Amino acid sequence: MKKKILFLIFVSVIVLIASGTAMASEAAGGAARDASGPPTAPISPQSRKCINCHLIYTPGIVEEWLSSAHSGTTPEQAMKKPPLERLVSAKDVPKDVANYAVGCYECHGANPGAHKDNFQHFGESINVVVSPADCAICHPEERAQFDRSMESYAWSNLDNNPLFHTLMDTIIGTKDVSGGRIVIEKPESALEDNTCYSCHGLPVKMAGMKQLSTPVGLVNVPVLKGWPNTGIGRINPDGSRGACEACHPGHAFSIEAARKPYTCARCHTGPHAPAWDVYRESSHGSIFLTNGAGWNFARVPWRPGVDFKAPTCAACHNSLLVGTGGKIIAQRTHDSGSRLWVRLLGLIYSTAQPKKGDTTIIENKDGLPLPSTFDGVPASRYLIGKDKQQDREESMKSICNACHGNQWTDGFFSKMSDTVQAADKMTLAATKLMDRAWRLGLSDKTNPFSDETEMDWVRQWFFYATSVKYSAAMAGATNRMAFTNGFWDLSYNLRKMESRVNGTPALRPAPMRPRIITIPEAPQKEERRVRPKKRFFKKRAPERRIIKKRAEKRHVEKRHVEKRRAVKRRITKKRITKRRAPKAAKGKKKIERKKKKPEERK
């Protein structure tokens, strides 16, 4: 009985607080407010109900939303902005949405018929997951651009590619030992979710309903498999691909977060995708880390040199950039690969960008779902042509030219191309050794990622070559290109593979190919002509005989001098001996006398 009374009192207090919050909201005209300021945009009745309750139980989410652009602007107001300043691409939105702040219900209540995760929640029809299809009510062009990107296919490109999936299973699959041999087991789904699929995304599927006990009573909620997940290639319960919150995290949905490299660094870091690692060591990254706190990351359109002093990931890949007088440098895009002409990430060799985001349709000459064969022959049928590559390269150059001169930009792109080719050549050398190991039966090609030699081969292109290519493409980090996962590791790893495949001593040094250095010839003085040797001796024979006689004469004289000196030394020695003889005899007698006894001496 006491428990029931306490529960009723608790519920009454909650209702009073909620009523007070609602009254305050009504007093404000049903408008959203900044976290520290007055109301700015009207809130729909449905969203107001959400806020009143969640302000008590999840206040962090509510306060974050109140600081967002969604809470301060209605779609109708956003559509009236000048074309370059607009963030809403829709020309028309439903009337029940147009004149309210984009609140809880406007996002979580959209398209209920398409959502398998929809459920009844305190009298409202609510979706757990907000998908790109829901965001497309206001942002249709952005959703269409994203749908064309490889990022929207991030899950299927990994999961439906048997080669990549085998690599994933080999890496993260748990290991056991049987008969002294390592056995690879299929990874647990939770392990997949927390590793590769954390960035690539997962299908979110409805798995039933469950009842939760909450402070306000029992609540029925959906059970979702693959949730939570904010991977960029997530498959949503309404069938759409993608997760906008991968780049616009939290309930602020801020453009500032998407423009800062920290958001991209959540996935694009580490030895296999070292974009953040390279960027922070580059010149651009140094400028950002030093002065970025004072940059204007919210302004639309974005102005190089005014709003920011060095490019971030978004500046090169996504953002709408304008120059002096509002001249457009680059249009906004949500297809991050649409400005790229070459593909560097996650492949054995660099290739042209694919024509479509779905790369599982690619089939190379060897029948593998890769854009090139193991020996580097591209599957050109599925890749953009040279004209398209040239157009994209020129588009990227125009972004660089906003700060740099044409000569600098052309030189940089030329060096990048040469470095990428050099890295591919080092990978090709490793692939030749790997192919030899497969042919000799030293490794099993059915799983080309399992033994030590094969893992060294993967390390060659997946880690080291990728690091070199990213360093070449991102203006700096020369130490990373040379030593940290760079050419040093490419060369060392190649030596290890050679010694293992050929059975030679570990890291046996091989003769270096001589480097041909061309030295310009210095101007030389005119030399006197030298006559042939035979002609010289034939013509000057008499003089040669004279020289010879003189040499013989000097030799004879030298011998005579030496003889005379020897004789003189012998004579001198005899004389010295004669002089010393009497003294020596006298001294000898004296010694003998001392040896005698005193009696004998007398």
Structure tokens at 601: 């001496």
CA–CA distances in Å: residue 6 to residues 2, 9, 219, 522: 6, 5, 20, 104
Whole-model pTM: value is: 0.77
Domain-ending residue, one of 72, 88, 108:
108
Residue 186 buriedness (CB in 10 A; 0-12 / 13-18 / 19+): exposed
Q: Return left, alpha or beta for 524; rule: phi > 0 is left, psi -120 to 50 is alpha, else beta.
A: beta
Does 589 reside within a domain? Answer: no
Q: Count up the domains in the chain and report the number.
A: 2
Q: Which one, of 72, 74, 84, lies nearest residue 38 by Cα? A: 72
Residue 120 located in a structural domain:
no
* Residue 388 token pair: 């398209």
Q: Is residue 34 part of a domain?
A: yes
**CA-closest candidate to residue 43, choices 55, 244, 122, 79:** 55
- What is the per-residue pLDDT for 141? 97
The letter for the amino acid at 84 is L
Strands, DSSP E only, in 141-186? 175-178, 181-184
**CA angle in degrees (0–180, nearest 5) for 125-128-134:** 80
> For residue 566, is it within any domain?
no
Q: How far apart are CA 320 and CA 377, in angstroms?
A: 36
Interior angle at CA 393, CA 392 and CA 395, nearest 5: 65
Rounded Cα distance between 597 and 592, Å, is 10
* Positions in the chain short of pLDDT 50: 1-30, 32-39, 508-510, 512, 519, 533-539, 602
- The continuous run of DSSP H or E covering 259 comes out as helix 255-259
* Contact (Cβ atoms closer than 8 angstroms) between residue 74 and residue 40: no
CA-wise closest residue to 319 among 296, 342, 293: 296
| End-of-domain residue from the set 76, 108, 140 | 108
| Number of Cβ within a 10 Å radius of residue 207 | 12
In a domain, 205, yes or no: no
CA 210 – CA 40 distance, rounded (Å): 38
- Hey, what amino acid is at 330? A
| Residues contacting 115, CB < 8 A, separation 6+ | 127, 129, 131, 237, 238
Q: What pLDDT score does 574 carry?
A: 79
Residue 17 belongs to some domain of the structure? yes
Final residue of a structural domain among 450, 469, 502: 502
Q: How many residues are listed for the chain in this entry?
A: 602
Q: In angstroms, rounded to a whole number, what is the distance separating the alpha carbons of residues 207 and 450?
A: 35
CA angle 404, 407, 410 (to 5 degrees): 90
For 387, half-sphere exposure in the C-beta direction (CA atoms, 13 angstrom radius) is 0
Query: In 10 A of CB 34, how many CB atoms?
Result: 13
Kindly state whether residue 277 falls inside one of the protein's structural domains: yes
Domain span at 407: 253-502
Residue 180 is assigned to a structural domain of this protein: no
CA 446 – CA 174 distance, rounded (Å)? 19
Nearest to 215 by CA among 506, 514, 443, 6: 6
For residue 283, what is the domain's CATH number?
A: 1.20.850.10
Instruction: Give yes or no for a contact between 185 and 175, defined as CB atoms under 8 angstroms apart.
Output: yes
As given in the structure block, the two tokens for residue 21 are 């919050």
